[in-house]
Amino acid sequence: VHVHAVAGIGNPKRFFTTLVELGMRPVQHRFSDHHAFTAQDFKFKEPLPVVMTEKDAVKCQSFARDNFWMLPVTAALPAEFFVGLDKQLKTLTEEAR
């Protein structure tokens, strides 16, 4: 499925790769991180569906069309992250006493 893939995030490559892994063939449209989207940004030649990140979709609600879609993303941190965070917090607490 060909789509316009729109990303105004810090690492758009990962977003585009995810779309390919899901079976899409994205026409990549990269914007700067935190881009303030306008309807003009979506004046594409081909009338394909538009897929964007959930973060970007929030910014486009006022002018979104029926063929605009978002890909929700969830983050999963490994257990080691929380173990390390707990150790650092304990160290900071002890130093503050």
Q: Closest Cα to residue 15, out of 72, 90, 95, 82?
A: 72
Q: What is the pTM of this model?
A: 0.76
Q: Per DSSP, which regions of 47-88 are E strands?
A: 50-53, 68-71
Cα–Cα distance measured from residue 92 to residue 62, given in angstroms and rounded to the nearest whole number:
45
Mean pLDDT of 38-45: 96
Cα–Cα distance measured from residue 12 to residue 91, given in angstroms and rounded to the nearest whole number:
36
CB 89 within 8 A of CB 83: no
Residue linked to tokens 């969830």: 74
Mean pLDDT of 24-46: 96
Q: List pLDDT tens digits, range 18-34.
A: 999 999 999 999 999 99
Q: List pLDDT tens digits, range 65-82.
A: 999 999 987 778 999 999
